């Protein structure tokens, strides 16, 4: 067998995942997306609309579930020290599903304004955040360690497309079943979705890692020099990992790029309504155009990313930089749209924004896999640190965009100029992120080349 064929069959000394294995792990991502959609979207609407609770309550709970995901590095470190990563995926999915059902139970208390309603909801969303952190981090670490470099772009694309599919299917099914609304019907729908998602995830990971390794492997991990070393305590391992300039730079890149990515989430539809006169239905269709562009970008990276595996800055770095620059240009276009108003090709502009976002998002996930796999002993911890950075960015992004619009309209008194400033700030964040990616490209090439020579 040639060296290239051998590398296609093994990753870090273990059998590489084939396409079927990648799709199976994509089903886990679908299950995570399906359950999270119930908690962060459906329950949000029910609290505000059906029970007239303050909108700040579900918004705060969603923000809290992101804050809990700061635990991702700890979950990743735990998965690094075990013989297998699937037990933490199972634990995370069980915690996620149970937390969602507890959130439905807390809604019963909130509906009657019971004093234990808010504490129960906080506990539920704590479980939801912890479940996403445990299952999601361990899943990405498993992908990073078991997918060959030439398949990482496709693997990232497949898993994220399947997550979006899980959200879309769940939204459609839940929407069809939940009317006419009642709390018992909500509990039935949530229980069915959570149960089906949990069962799907369990079947997907069943036997995917094979038989457990020898007992001695539980306490030993492999470092980049190819030598076995004891599994370090969390604090020591975190400090050692954070001493790497590339890790710090990439963490900052993830935070800034994902902050820019999420800032427009809550303001795009109001923008279309306020400045272009879109009806609610038309603005919803515009959101659909954006998500269609995101899916197209993901597919393009999945199909084309592997062609550049091993070239340049890990191959995917070009897609990362291109996606960031493309997103910045599309946001500049929206800033011009705010100035020009009617007559601007808004739908095309939004579609291009979605496409560039999809390219950058999937390429970034593939880049995470590549950089995490450099240090075989801390794959989970690296994915956890970057996942925590992403969670913080998502928690702040939507709030920052919305508050920026409100503050700008109050201070400036001009809605078009306010949107110009906010979209311009997002574009600037993407450009700063692109510069960070370019600065780290040369170091990444040297690191991955050295790691490849030693494996």
Digit-by-digit pLDDT tens for the chain (455 residues) are: 333 344 445 455 567 788 899 999 999 999 999 999 888 888 888 888 788 888 788 888 988 999 999 999 999 888 887 778 899 999 999 999 999 999 999 998 998 888 899 999 999 999 999 999 999 999 999 998 888 888 888 888 899 889 888 888 888 888 888 888 888 999 999 999 999 999 999 999 998 887 554 333 433 444 443 444 456 788 888 888 888 888 888 999 999 999 999 888 878 888 998 899 988 778 878 888 888 899 899 989 888 765 444 444 456 788 999 999 999 999 999 999 999 988 899 999 999 999 999 999 999 988 888 888 776 567 888 898 999 999 899 888 888 888 888 889 899 989 999 999 999 999 999 999 999 988 765 455 455 455 444 44
Among residues 434, 410, 404, which one has the least CA distance to residue 422?
404
Q: Tell me how long the chain is.
A: 455
Query: What is the predicted pLDDT for the residue at 276?
Result: 92
**Strand partners of residue 11:** 14
- Alpha carbon distance 400, 396 (integer Å): 6
Cα-trace Rg, the chain = 22
Query: What is the predicted pLDDT for the residue at 14?
Result: 60
- Alpha carbon distance 51, 36 (integer Å): 21
Token digits for 249? 């730079």
Query: What is the predicted pLDDT for the residue at 2?
Result: 38
- Alpha carbon distance 330, 228 (integer Å): 48
Token digits for 13? 């000394």
Helix axis angle, 72-81 relative to 86-111, nearest 10°? 150
- Alpha carbon distance 42, 174 (integer Å): 9
Q: Which positions ≥6 away from 288 have C-beta within 8 Å?
A: none
Whether residue 180 is preceded by a cis peptide bond, meaning omega within 30 degrees of 0, is yes
38-to-7, 89, 185, 408 alpha-carbon distances in Å = 41, 19, 14, 33
CA 110 to chain centre: 30
Token digits for 164? 């979006």
Structural domains of the chain, ranges and CATH numbers in brackets: 18-210 (1.20.1250.20), 233-455 (1.20.1250.20)
Token digits for 69? 């995901």
Do residues 238 and 77 touch, judged by C-beta distance below 8 A? yes
Do residues 423 and 338 touch, judged by C-beta distance below 8 A? yes
Three-state secondary structure string covering the chain: CCHHHHHHHEECCEECCCHHHHHHHHHHHHHHHHHHHHHHHHHHHHHHHHCCCCCHHHHHHHHHHHHHHHHHHHHHHHHHHCCCCHHHHHHHHHHHHHHHHHHHHHHHHHHCCCCCHHHHHHHHHHHHHHHHHHHHHHHHHHHHHHCCHHHHHHHHHHHHHHHHHHHHHHHHHHHHHCCCCCHHHHHHHHHHHHHHHHHHHHHHHCCCCCCCCCHHHHCEEECCCCCEEECCCHHHHHHHHHCCHHHHHHHHHHHHHHHHHHHCCCCHHHHHHHHHCCCHHHHHHHHHHHHHHHHHHHHHHHHHHHHHCCCCCCCCHHHHHHHHHHHHHHHHHHHHHHHHCCCCCHHHHHHHHHHHHHHHHHHHHHHHHHHHCCCCCCHHHHHHHHHHHHHHHHHHHHHHHHHHHHHHHHHHCCHHHHHHHHHHHHHHHHHHHHHHHHHCHHHHHHHHHHHHHHC
Query: What is the predicted pLDDT for the residue at 397?
Result: 86
The answer to pTM > 0.85 is no
Burial state string for 125-147 with b = 16 or more CB within 10 A and e = fewer than 16? bbbbbbbbbbbbbbbbbbbbbbb
What is the separation, in whole angstroms, between the first and last Cα of the chain?
Answer: 17
Widest CA span of the chain, in angstroms? 70
- Residue 440: count of CB within 10 angstroms of its CB: 24
Helix axis angle, 86-111 relative to 19-37, nearest 10°? 20
């Amino acid at each position: 067998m040639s060296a290239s064929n051998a590398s296609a069959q093994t990753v870090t000394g273990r059998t590489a995942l084939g396409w079927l294995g990648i799709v199976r792990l994509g089903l886990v991502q679908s299950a995570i997306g399906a359950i999270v959609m119930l908690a962060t979207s459906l329950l949000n609407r029910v609290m505000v609309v059906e029970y007239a609770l303050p909108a700040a309550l579900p918004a705060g709970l969603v923000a809290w579930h992101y804050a809990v995901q700061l635990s991702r590095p700890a979950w990743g470190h735990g998965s690094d020290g075990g013989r297998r990563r699937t037990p933490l995926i199972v634990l995370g999915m069980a915690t996620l599903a149970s937390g969602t059902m507890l959130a439905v139970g807390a809604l019963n208390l909130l509906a009657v304004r019971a004093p234990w309603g808010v504490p129960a909801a906080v506990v539920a969303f704590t479980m939801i955040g912890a479940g996403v952190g445990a299952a999601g981090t361990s899943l990405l670490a498993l992908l990073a360690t078991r997918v060959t470099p030439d398949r990482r772009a496709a693997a990232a694309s497949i898993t994220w497309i399947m997550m979006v599919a899980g959200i879309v299917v769940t939204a459609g099914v839940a929407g069809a079943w939940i009317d006419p609304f009642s709390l018992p019907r909500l509990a039935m729908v949530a229980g069915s979705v959570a149960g089906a998602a949990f069962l799907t995830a369990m079947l997907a990971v069943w036997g995917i890692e094979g038989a457990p390794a020898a007992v001695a492997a539980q306490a030993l991990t492999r470092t980049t020099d190819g030598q076995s070393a004891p599994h370090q305590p969390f604090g020591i391992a975190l400090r050692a990992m954070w001493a790497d300039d590339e890790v710090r730079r990439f963490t900052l890149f993830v935070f800034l790029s994902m902050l820019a990515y999420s800032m427009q989430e809550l303001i795009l539809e109001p923008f279309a309504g306020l400045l272009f006169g879109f009806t609610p239905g038309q603005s919803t269709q515009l959101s659909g155009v954006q998500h269609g562009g995101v899916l197209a970008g993901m597919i393009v990276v999945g199909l084309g990313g592997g062609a550049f595996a091993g070239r340049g800055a890990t191959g995917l770095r070009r897609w990362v930089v291109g996606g960031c620059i493309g997103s910045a240009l599309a946001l500049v276009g929206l800033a011009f749209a705010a100035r020009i108003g009617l007559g601007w090709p808004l739908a095309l502009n939004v579609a291009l924004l979605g496409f560039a976002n999809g390219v950058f998002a999937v390429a970034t996930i593939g880049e995470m896999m590549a950089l995490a796999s450099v240090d075989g002993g801390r794959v989970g911890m690296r994915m956890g640190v970057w996942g925590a950075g992403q969670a913080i960015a998502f928690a702040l992004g939507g709030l920052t965009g919305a508050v920026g619009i409100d503050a700008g309209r109050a201070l400036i008194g001009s809605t078009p100029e306010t949107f110009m400033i906010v979209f311009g700030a997002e574009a600037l964040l993407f450009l700063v992120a692109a510069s960070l990616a370019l600065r780290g490209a040369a170091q990444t090439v040297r690191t991955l080349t050295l790691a490849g020579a030693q494996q």
